[in-house]
């Protein structure tokens, strides 16, 4: 089920939905990013067979907002798109964490430093865009994850 929260930050009337956002990610993601008043760089493709399942909105007024969107395929694999916007932080803490996680490979894609990780329960990719920490994480394959981040 969807949990919504009103974001109290002012909305920039000039902010428009980037090309491809709706076609790739669908109405729920566009609505969530509009409510957060931010459109970070996201992949332009998702793997075949994955469909939107759910949205969870969490946060603390004036401090941060976080949106989690779950996508799954018929085989039971999934990935979450997690976007966290910190109103009080310039994301230096997230940049520091990206460098320090053991087993993380940091790669450059289209000007973004992306931290890739794989462990016993899944894969993840994390990057900073528009003062947001963006993460794809789940049980999708590393090949599917790399395909997505290659399209950012």
82-120 per-position pLDDT tens digit: 999 887 765 555 554 455 566 788 899 989 999 999 988
Cα-Cα-Cα-Cα torsion 53, 114, 128, 68, nearest 10 degrees, comes to 10
> Checking phi first, is residue 57 left (phi over 0); if not, alpha (psi -120 to 50) or beta?
beta
23-70 per-position pLDDT tens digit: 899 999 999 998 888 899 999 999 999 999 999 988 777 778 899 999
**Residue count of the chain:** 152
């Amino acid at each position: 089920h969807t949990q919504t929260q009103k974001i109290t930050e002012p909305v920039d009337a000039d902010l428009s939905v980037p090309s491809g956002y709706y076609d790739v990610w669908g109405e729920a993601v566009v609505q969530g990013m509009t409510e957060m008043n931010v459109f970070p760089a996201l992949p332009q493709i998702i793997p075949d067979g994955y469909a939107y399942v759910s949205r969870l909105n969490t946060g603390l007024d004036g401090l941060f907002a976080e949106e989690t969107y779950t996508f799954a395929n018929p085989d039971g694999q999934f990935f979450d798109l997690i976007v966290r916007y910190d109103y009080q932080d310039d994301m230096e803490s997230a940049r520091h964490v990206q460098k320090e996680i053991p087993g993380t490979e940091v790669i450059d894609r289209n000007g973004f430093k992306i931290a890739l990780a794989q462990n016993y329960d899944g894969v993840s990719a994390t990057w900073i865009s528009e003062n947001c920490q963006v993460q794809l994480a789940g049980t999708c394959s590393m090949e599917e994850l790399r395909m997505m981040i290659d399209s950012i």
